[in-house]
Chains A and B, each alone.
Chain A
Amino acid sequence: MDEKEALKELSKRIDEVSGNNDIPRMSNKDMIIAAVFAAVCLAGVILGGIFL
Chain B
Amino acid sequence: MSKVRNTEEQVQQEVLFGTWPVLKKERKYGFIDALLVLSGYCIATWSYTQGSYLATLVGFKQLLIGAFLAALFMLLVYQLPVILSVRYGIDIWIWLRSVFGPKGVNILTIAIIVVNFPWYAVCCELFAGSMENLLGIFGITPFPGLHLILSLSCVILGTLIAYRGISSITWTTRILVPLLLLVGVVVVIVGFTSVPMDVIWNYTPELTEGTSRSFNYILSIEANFAFVITLVGGMAEVPRLCKSERSGYYAGVFGQGIAGSFFVVVGAVMAIAMQHVTGTMSDDPTLMMATLAVPALGLCSLLLVAFANIGTQAVGSYIYGVMLKSTFPKTSYRILILVLGAYVSILCVWGKIIEYFGSFLTIGALVYAPLAALLFVDFFMVRKQKIDLKSAFGLEGHDNYQYTKGFNIVGAVCFVLGFAFSLLIYDPIKSVVHVKWLFVLTPTGASFLFTALLYLGLSRIPYIRRYIRRDCSVVPDTRPFDRYKVPPKQNLFLTPLIWLVCKIIVAPYKLKIEKHNMKGVKPPFLVLGTHQSFYDFYVSPLCLIPFRANYISELEGFEAYGEWIYRQVGCLGTRKFINDRALLINIKKVIDRGGIMVIYPEARYANVGTQSELQMSVAKLAKHLNVPVVTLNMKGNYLLSPIWNLKLRKSVRLHADVDLALTAEQTQEMSLQQIHDILYDKLSYNEYEYQKKAGIKIDDSFRAEGLHKALYRCIWCGTDFSTVTDGSRIRCKKCGAEFELSPDGDLIRKDREGKITIPEWYDSIREDVDKEVDEGRYSLDIKVKVVALPNSVNFIDCGEGRLKHGSDGFDLTFNDYRQKKEITLHFAPKSTISVHTEYNYRDKFGECITLSTLDDTYFLYPLEEGFSATKIQFAAEHLAKINN
Do A and B actually bind? yes
Q: Report B25-70 residues with CB < 8 Å from chain A CB.
A: 27, 59, 61-62, 65-66, 69-70
User: Whole-angstrom distance between the alpha carbons of A26 and B65 in the complex?
Assistant: 28
**Residues of chain A lying within 8 A (CB to CB) of residue B83:** 25-26
Interface string of A6-24 (1 = CB under 8 A from B): 1101110110111001111
CB of B87 within 8 Å of the partner chain: yes
**Residues of chain A lying within 8 A (CB to CB) of residue B249:** 26, 34
Q: Which of B59, B65, B80 has the most CB of A within 10 A?
A: B65
Interface string of A32-51 (1 = CB under 8 A from B): 00100110011011001100
**Residues of chain B lying within 8 A (CB to CB) of residue A44:** 65, 69
**Residues of chain B lying within 8 A (CB to CB) of residue A30:** 245-246
**Which residue of the partner chain, among A18, A23, A48, contacts B243 with CB atoms under 8 Å?**
A23
**Contact A23:B24 (CB < 8 A) given known A34-B76, A34-B80:** yes
Q: Report B391-432 residues with CB < 8 Å from chain A CB.
A: 393, 395-396
**Residues of chain A lying within 8 A (CB to CB) of residue B478:** none
CB of B369 within 8 Å of the partner chain: no
Q: DSSP class of B's interface residues: helix, strand, loop or mixed?
A: helix
Q: Are the C-beta atoms of B69 and A48 separated by less than 8 Å?
A: yes
**Contact A11:B395 (CB < 8 A) given known A21-B24, A52-B61:** yes
Q: Are the C-beta atoms of A17 and B389 separated by less than 8 Å?
A: yes
**Contact A10:B62 (CB < 8 A) given known A23-B245, A41-B76:** no
Q: Are the C-beta atoms of A17 and B73 separated by less than 8 Å?
A: no
The closest CB in chain A to the CB of B440 belongs to: A49
Minimum C-beta distance from B711 to chain A (A): 47
Q: Are the C-beta atoms of A14 and B76 separated by less than 8 Å?
A: no
Q: Are the C-beta atoms of B390 and A14 separated by less than 8 Å?
A: yes
CB of B702 within 8 Å of the partner chain: no
Q: Are the C-beta atoms of B70 and A14 separated by less than 8 Å?
A: no
**Residues of chain A lying within 8 A (CB to CB) of residue B80:** 34
Q: Report B78-95 residues with CB < 8 Å from chain A CB.
A: 80, 83, 86-90
**Contact A52:B23 (CB < 8 A) given known A17-B389, A34-B80, A42-B73:** no
**Contact A41:B246 (CB < 8 A) given known A18-B88, A23-B24:** no
The closest CB in chain B to the CB of A21 belongs to: B24
**Residues of chain B lying within 8 A (CB to CB) of residue A11:** 390, 395
Q: Are the C-beta atoms of B20 and A24 separated by less than 8 Å?
A: no
Q: Are the C-beta atoms of B245 and A18 separated by less than 8 Å?
A: no
Q: Are the C-beta atoms of B69 and A10 separated by less than 8 Å?
A: no
**Residues of chain A lying within 8 A (CB to CB) of residue B70:** 41, 45
User: Whole-angstrom distance between the alpha carbons of A30 and B72 in the complex?
Assistant: 16
Q: Are the C-beta atoms of A18 and B76 separated by less than 8 Å?
A: no
User: Whole-angstrom distance between the alpha carbons of A37 and B77 in the complex?
Assistant: 10
**Residues of chain B lying within 8 A (CB to CB) of residue A6:** 16
User: Whole-angstrom distance between the alpha carbons of A7 and B80 in the complex?
Assistant: 30
**Contact A23:B86 (CB < 8 A) given known A42-B73, A45-B70, A52-B61:** yes
User: Whole-angstrom distance between the alpha carbons of A48 and B249 in the complex?
Assistant: 26
The closest CB in chain B to the CB of A39 belongs to: B73
Q: Are the C-beta atoms of A38 and B76 separated by less than 8 Å?
A: yes
**Which residue of the partner chain, among B23, B62, B89, B245, contacts A48 with CB atoms under 8 Å?**
B62
Q: Which of A6, A10, A23 has the most CB of B within 10 A?
A: A23
**Residues of chain B lying within 8 A (CB to CB) of residue A9:** 20
Q: Are the C-beta atoms of A16 and B65 separated by less than 8 Å?
A: no
CB of B217 within 8 Å of the partner chain: yes
CB of B21 within 8 Å of the partner chain: yes
Q: DSSP class of A's interface residues: helix, strand, loop or mixed?
A: helix
Q: Are the C-beta atoms of A45 and B69 separated by less than 8 Å?
A: yes
Q: Are the C-beta atoms of B69 and A14 separated by less than 8 Å?
A: no
**Which residue of the partner chain, among A10, A22, A24, A48, contacts B246 with CB atoms under 8 Å?**
A24
User: Whole-angstrom distance between the alpha carbons of A17 and B94 in the complex?
Assistant: 14
Q: Are the C-beta atoms of B218 and A24 separated by less than 8 Å?
A: no
**Which residue of the partner chain, among A14, A25, A37, A52, contacts B62 with CB atoms under 8 Å?**
A52
User: Whole-angstrom distance between the alpha carbons of A42 and B448 in the complex?
Assistant: 15
Minimum C-beta distance from B392 to chain A (A): 9
User: Whole-angstrom distance between the alpha carbons of A22 and B25 in the complex?
Assistant: 11
The closest CB in chain A to the CB of B60 belongs to: A52
Minimum C-beta distance from A41 to chain B (A): 4
CB of B221 within 8 Å of the partner chain: yes
User: Whole-angstrom distance between the alpha carbons of A48 and B65 in the complex?
Assistant: 7
User: Whole-angstrom distance between the alpha carbons of A34 and B831 in the complex?
Assistant: 52
Chain A interface extent, by class = 20 to 34
**Contact A41:B16 (CB < 8 A) given known A10-B395, A14-B390:** no
CB of B722 within 8 Å of the partner chain: no
CB of B214 within 8 Å of the partner chain: yes
The closest CB in chain A to the CB of B390 belongs to: A14
CB of B244 within 8 Å of the partner chain: yes
**Contact A45:B88 (CB < 8 A) given known A14-B393, A34-B76:** no
Q: Are the C-beta atoms of A14 and B389 separated by less than 8 Å?
A: yes
**Which residue of the partner chain, among A22, A24, A45, contacts B73 with CB atoms under 8 Å?**
A45
The closest CB in chain A to the CB of B79 belongs to: A34
Q: Are the C-beta atoms of A48 and B66 separated by less than 8 Å?
A: yes
Q: Are the C-beta atoms of A17 and B21 separated by less than 8 Å?
A: yes
The closest CB in chain B to the CB of A13 belongs to: B21
The closest CB in chain A to the CB of B240 belongs to: A17
**Residues of chain B lying within 8 A (CB to CB) of residue A18:** 88, 389
**Contact A17:B245 (CB < 8 A) given known A38-B77, A49-B214:** no
**Residues of chain A lying within 8 A (CB to CB) of residue B396:** 7
Q: Are the C-beta atoms of A45 and B59 separated by less than 8 Å?
A: no
Q: Report B200-256 residues with CB < 8 Å from chain A CB.
A: 214, 217-218, 221, 243-246, 249
**Residues of chain A lying within 8 A (CB to CB) of residue B87:** 17, 21, 23, 25
The closest CB in chain B to the CB of A27 belongs to: B246
Q: Which of B21, B89, B244, B396 has the most CB of A within 10 A?
A: B21
User: Whole-angstrom distance between the alpha carbons of A14 and B122 in the complex?
Assistant: 40
User: Whole-angstrom distance between the alpha carbons of A50 and B21 in the complex?
Assistant: 46
Q: Are the C-beta atoms of B73 and A38 separated by less than 8 Å?
A: yes
**Which residue of the partner chain, among B245, B389, B390, contacts A24 with CB atoms under 8 Å?**
B245
User: Whole-angstrom distance between the alpha carbons of A37 and B76 in the complex?
Assistant: 8
**Residues of chain A lying within 8 A (CB to CB) of residue B389:** 14, 17-18
Q: Are the C-beta atoms of A13 and B23 separated by less than 8 Å?
A: yes
Q: Are the C-beta atoms of A16 and B221 separated by less than 8 Å?
A: no
The closest CB in chain B to the CB of A26 belongs to: B245
Minimum C-beta distance from A6 to chain B (A): 7
**Residues of chain B lying within 8 A (CB to CB) of residue A13:** 20-21, 23, 89
Q: Are the C-beta atoms of A25 and B73 separated by less than 8 Å?
A: no
**Residues of chain A lying within 8 A (CB to CB) of residue B245:** 23-26, 30
Q: Which of A24, A30, A48 has the most CB of B within 10 A?
A: A48
**Residues of chain A lying within 8 A (CB to CB) of residue B66:** 45, 48
Minimum C-beta distance from A26 to chain B (A): 4
User: Whole-angstrom distance between the alpha carbons of A45 and B261 in the complex?
Assistant: 15
Minimum C-beta distance from B632 to chain A (A): 50
Q: Are the C-beta atoms of B24 and A41 separated by less than 8 Å?
A: no
**Residues of chain A lying within 8 A (CB to CB) of residue B72:** 37-38, 41
Q: Are the C-beta atoms of B393 and A10 separated by less than 8 Å?
A: yes
**Which residue of the partner chain, among A10, A25, A52, contacts B65 with CB atoms under 8 Å?**
A52
Q: Report B628-667 residues with CB < 8 Å from chain A CB.
A: none
Q: Are the C-beta atoms of A14 and B21 separated by less than 8 Å?
A: yes
User: Whole-angstrom distance between the alpha carbons of A14 and B59 in the complex?
Assistant: 51
User: Whole-angstrom distance between the alpha carbons of A37 and B59 in the complex?
Assistant: 25
User: Whole-angstrom distance between the alpha carbons of A21 and B389 in the complex?
Assistant: 14
User: Whole-angstrom distance between the alpha carbons of A25 and B221 in the complex?
Assistant: 32
Interface residues, chain A, with chain B CB atoms under 8 Å away: 6-7, 9-11, 13-14, 16-18, 21-26, 30, 34, 37-38, 41-42, 44-45, 48-49, 52
18 contacts between A and B (CB under 8 A): A11-B390, A13-B21, A13-B89, A17-B21, A17-B88, A17-B389, A21-B23, A21-B87, A23-B86, A23-B243, A24-B244, A24-B245, A26-B245, A30-B245, A34-B249, A48-B62, A48-B69, A52-B65
Q: What are the 9 A-B residue pairs with the smallest beta carbon separation, nearest first?
A: A48-B65, A41-B73, A24-B244, A38-B76, A44-B69, A17-B21, A41-B69, A14-B389, A26-B245
Task: Knowing that A24-B246, A34-B76, A45-B221 touch, tell me 17 more A-B residue pairs with CB under 8 angstroms.
Answer: A6-B16, A11-B395, A13-B21, A13-B23, A13-B89, A17-B88, A21-B24, A23-B244, A26-B83, A37-B72, A37-B76, A38-B73, A41-B69, A41-B73, A42-B69, A48-B66, A49-B218
